[in-house]
Amino acid sequence: MTLEAILAYLHLLAILTMVVFIASEAALCRVQWLNAAVVERLAKVDRVYGIAAFAVLATGVARTVLGIKGTAWYWTNPLLHVKLTLFIVVGLMSIFPTLTFLRWRKALRADGTLPPEAEILKTRKLVMVQAHLIAIIPLVAVFLARGFGK
């Protein structure tokens, strides 16, 4: 029972960290706010977001393997597969902003160039879509935890 509680806590902590940092990316990635310091910060914030996403996945897998309900209960429920699919979609979508932030930082460090407005808007839009998709995952999770989909 204690292990289950600790795993749930770690999973929730990872989720909250991920949400805070995707929200930070969305807040920082604005045409009117983007300057050299923000470009540097975006790369750092995105790194923490990626680490948190990995922690969400790792703690989620740990909960299915080591938790009370076990893998047979979780992996046969289609809602888990919906959650994982959404998570993978968000992860794939995050590749473009990550590479973009790193490219922006590299250009800034090389010659002080800031990204064009159109590129900032495109990247922000993708970050916002990720943030909104992330918000759907807990909805699926609460139904999964209550045995829906079985």
In a domain, 69, yes or no: yes
Counted residue by residue, the chain has a size of 150
Q: Where are the beta strands (DSSP E) in the chain?
A: none
Q: What is the pLDDT of residues 102-119, one digit of tens each?
A: 999 999 999 999 999 999
- Going from the C-alpha of 8 to that of each of 102, 125, 141, the distances in angstroms are 33, 31, 12
Confidence of residue 149 (pLDDT cuts 50, 70, 90): confident
Residue 144 identity: L
Does residue 1 surpass a pLDDT of 80? no
User: How many CB atoms sit inside 10 A of residue 91's CB?
Assistant: 15
Residue 103 identity: R
In a domain, 90, yes or no: yes
Task: Give the separation between CA 1 and CA 93, rounded to whole angstroms.
Answer: 36
Q: What is the pLDDT of residues 57-68, one digit of tens each?
A: 999 999 999 988
Does residue 5 surpass a pLDDT of 80? yes
The proportion of the chain whose per-residue pLDDT surpasses 90, expressed as a percent, equals 91
Does residue 52 surpass a pLDDT of 90? yes
How many structural domains comprise the chain?
1
| Residue 31, φ and ψ in degrees, nearest 5 | -55, -45
Residue 4 identity: E
Range of the domain at 9: 2-145
- 100: tokens are 């973009």
Does residue 150 surpass a pLDDT of 80? no
Q: Are 38 and 28 in contact (CB under 8 A)?
A: yes
Average pLDDT score over residue span 24-42: 97
In a domain, 32, yes or no: yes
Task: Quote the pLDDT of residue 68.
Answer: 86
In a domain, 106, yes or no: yes
In a domain, 150, yes or no: no
